[in-house]
Amino acid sequence: MPDLLDRLRGDQVAARKAADKDRTLLLGTVLAALKNRELEGAAPLTDAEVVDVLRKQIKQRRDSVEQYTAAGRDDLAGREQAELEALAAYLPPEADPAEIRAAADAAVAGGATDLGRLMGVLMAQFKGKADGSVVNRIAREALASQ
């Protein structure tokens, strides 16, 4: 199975050949962000780093959807939502919330009694496998039920 970066590049080439301007632009933007990240680290990107950049791109689009919707610009919100969904297709499956909840409960039982410590434990375990906001919500619930 080709790595994620190669898959993104191949899909951009396919979009160019199909004259799909929107998809070509979207993938070009993502690949540019990936290239910037690669230059920062001066080393080839791993799939985990590519997933991290994709999650940031998705978060930006999610924020844009909220802002456009609040401003009454449903046309722009729809476009951003479509881009968000296209990028989400490249992400690996999310970790099950029940699995995160069990890990949070175990960490709390192990002595992680404040949000900072608990998030440190959980994000180390679920980095690239779960959205940080989901992990944060579950961590807060675990601390509240303590």
- Rounded to whole angstroms, the Cα distance separating 83 from 53 reads 15
118 three-class SS: helix
Report the 10 Å Cβ neighbour count for 132.
14
Tell whether the model's pLDDT for residue 43 goes beyond 60. yes
Q: Percent of the chain at pLDDT above 90?
A: 49
* 3-state secondary structure labels for all residues of 11-28: HHHHHHHCCCHHHHHHHH
Quickly state the pLDDT bin for 31 (edges 50, 70, 90): very high
Give the residue-averaged pLDDT of 7-31.
95
Tell whether the model's pLDDT for residue 2 goes beyond 60. no
Closest C-alpha among 41, 114, 57 to residue 89: 57
Sign of the torsion angle spanned by Cα atoms 29, 35, 41, 46: positive
CATH numeric code, 4-88: 1.10.1510.10
Give the residue-averaged pLDDT of 71-95.
92
For residues 93 and 58, which has the higher predicted lDDT (pLDDT)?
A: 58
Q: What is the mean pLDDT of the chain?
A: 89
- Written as six digits, the tokens of 89 are 């297709």
CB within 8 Å of 35: residues ≥ 6 apart: none
pLDDT of residue 1: 33
- Rounded to whole angstroms, the Cα distance separating 9 from 24 reads 10
For the chain, which residues make up each domain, given as ranges? 4-88, 97-144
